[in-house]
Amino acid sequence: MVLTYLEKENIGLILHLDDDEYLKLRSSWEFKLPEGYDFSFEAMLKYRYVAVAVNDEWKVIAEISDWRLSAIESGQRTVIFSKFSERVYLLSLAISKNLKENIWLHNSQKEIVEKSLIDESTLVRPCPLPPSLDFEEASRAVARRYGVSADQVQISIHRLAHGVRAES
């Protein structure tokens, strides 16, 4: 599918949230888009930024790391963020009128958005900790996966010595 003219001109979205929605977005680093944000799959892949306003006041500019589509909720789109910048002053100058009516970030705002996100105060999403299990939990997990009793699972750790040959 070919991008429409407007999809080509847009670089991201503007979200209008209440305080609770904003706090949830900041703590979870993701947000389910409400209705009204209609764009193609190709445009979704192109959009990299989100600006957030709370009660008609700019709060944050965010960089998108991923999108999640739900097959269950008829294509519900969830945006996942990698960075947050509270440096919104220049954006507030660029979009100061009819803030509520704007739901798109345009190419003309790209430089402002990018400058905000390279600022030293930008928050970068921490890397998630890898899942960790103790031996009992690991045995139960393997047993569930293969449909056997946990008593039948034996886990051992071996250190491989690279470059060492055993001589007889």
Give just the sign of the alpha carbon dihedral 156, 161, 165, 167: negative
Question: For residues 57 and 101, what is the distance between their CA atoms, to the nearest angstrom?
Answer: 13
87/153 Cα distance (integer angstroms): 54
10-residue mean pLDDT profile of the chain (168 residues): values are 88 95 95 88 92 94 92 80 95 86 92 92 83 84 88 82 50
105 and 49 share a domain?
A: yes
Could you give the maximum distance between any two Cα atoms of the chain, in Å? 83
Instruction: Report yes or no: 92 and 60 within 8 Å, Cβ to Cβ.
Output: no
Q: Are residues 139 and 81 in the same domain?
A: no
Quote the pLDDT of residue 166: 47
Q: Are residues 142 and 63 in the same domain?
A: no
What 3-state class would DSSP assign to 24?
Answer: helix
What is the pLDDT at residue 168?
43
**What residue numbers bound the domain in which 141 lies?**
129-160
Q: 77 and 63: one domain?
A: yes
Same domain, 62 and 137: no
pTM: 0.72
Q: DSSP assignment of 6-21, as one string?
A: HHHHEEEEEEEE-HHH
Q: Which helix (H) or strand (E) holds 58?
A: strand 57-69
pLDDT at 163: 52
Evaluate whether residue 118 is within a structural domain: yes
